[in-house]
Chains A and B, each alone.
Chain A
Amino acid sequence: MERLTHPVLVNGEPREIAAETLAEALTALGYEGAVVATALNGEFVPQRKRAATPLAEGDRIEIVAPRQGG
């Protein structure tokens, strides 16, 4: 089956990703092995659910990591 390319927003930036799920998108974008949390269209997606979370055109993906905080 040919891979679908989805126009999506990754951390606010428009991207074309050849990925059908959120897990595939993280791999395609180069986040493998990184400690990150994800949200799709404003909803938290736990790590264990990323592989079962399909992507659709126009999805907003947020990928965050630990950072300095007060």
Chain B
Amino acid sequence: MKPLEFYGRTFGSRLLLGTSQYPSPAVLAAAVRASEAEIVTVSLRREAARAREGQDFWRLIRDLGVNVLPNTAGCHSVKEAVTTAQMAREVFATSWIKLEVIGEADTLQPDVFGLVEAARLLAADGFEVFPYTTEDLVVAERLLEAGCKVLMPWGAPIGSGQGLNNPFGLRALRAHFPEIPLVVDAGVGLPSHAAAAMELGYDAILLNTAVAKAGDPVAMARAFGGAIAAGRTAYLAGPMPPRDMAAPSTPVLGRANLT
């Protein structure tokens, strides 16, 4: 079975987990372990000199021994996103960046024009960009031209838990870019949503709120890990095509005449 590959590095787990909104650092750590995620997303925020909140968080993440994917969450302009990426590269010692350029406050929909521009600048500067995008095929093409080697379309608005709002669009994206690692990022609320995306042939799922805000985040992390693995296995197994009419699964031939 071909492993998941991002920028020449391979991974066993197809779940990328966010680190925000957990009830406590201990629950976060336990959820990451239970999910078996090898990649977690992190951010940069203002640090008060003596509070050292970020220092404690960073120690916790390093102790987990996972790869970090820093984001540019909250950036609304190309300049903010590029500067944030530069700061993240230094702090986290990685050239990976989950590029978010937010264009609309209610949906947190990406500003795809700014996204392409920022991706081009960052890729030219040696970054390995994971763009948070929509399922738009033309934008996807532009992102690849800009130097992205992975695409992360949304399933639904960030934190909404709605699942896959546009399965047709996601299927079309998969069909158009069969060789590009595709990650559904954002909007996944249930393990069944994640499994559905994997059954479409998506390579991985990035989620945060669905685990962090579950009644039992550790159990939910485990559930997502299982669902994503099952969805991947199902995709590779070749799902049957749907049909409109019923077709008996039990043989018709040899049925007893009991009239």
Contact = CB atoms under 8 A, between A and B. Distances in A.
A63 B87 CA distance: 10
Interface in A4-62: 11-12, 29-31, 34-39, 42-44, 46-47, 62
Residue in A44, A46, A62, A67 whose Cβ sees the most chain B Cβ within 10 Å = A67
Interface of B is mostly: mixed
Interface residues of B, number: 38
Contacts of A12: 46
Interface in B1-39: 18-22, 28
B192 interface: no
B229 to A, nearest CB: 22
Nearest to A64: B44
B146 to A, nearest CB: 20
Given A67-B44, A70-B73, A30 B50 contact: yes
Contacts of B49: 29-31, 34, 63
Contacts of A44: 83, 86-87, 90
Contact of B209 (A29, A67, A70): A70
B45 A65 contact: yes
Interface stretch (B54-62, B161-169, B173-181, B240-248): B54-62
Nearest to A10: B49
A69 B185 CA distance: 13
A22 B241 CA distance: 63
Contact of A68 (B57, B90, B92): B57
Residue in B43, B53, B70, B92 whose Cβ sees the most chain A Cβ within 10 Å = B43
Contact of B18 (A63, A64, A66, A69): A69
Given A31-B49, A44-B87, A69 B58 contact: no
Given A65-B54, A65-B55, A42 B83 contact: yes
Given A44-B87, A46-B90, A70-B71, A65 B42 contact: no
Contact of B54 (A46, A62, A67): A67
B48 to A, nearest CB: 7
Given A64-B47, A70-B208, A35 B91 contact: yes
A42 B79 contact: yes
A62 B123 CA distance: 24
Interface in B83-118: 83, 86-88, 90-92
B18 A70 contact: yes
Nearest to A62: B46
Interface of A: 11-12, 29-31, 34-39, 42-44, 46-47, 62-70
Interface of B: 18-22, 28, 41-50, 52-55, 57-58, 61, 70-71, 73, 79, 83, 86-88, 90-92, 158-159, 208-209
**Would you list the 5 A-B pairs with minimal beta carbon distance, nearest first?**
A65-B54, A69-B43, A70-B18, A37-B87, A70-B208
Given A34-B55, A65-B47, 7 more contacts: A29-B49, A37-B86, A47-B90, A63-B49, A66-B43, A69-B73, A70-B73
16 contacts: A12-B46, A34-B54, A39-B83, A44-B86, A64-B54, A65-B45, A65-B57, A66-B44, A66-B58, A67-B54, A68-B22, A69-B18, A69-B70, A69-B71, A70-B18, A70-B209
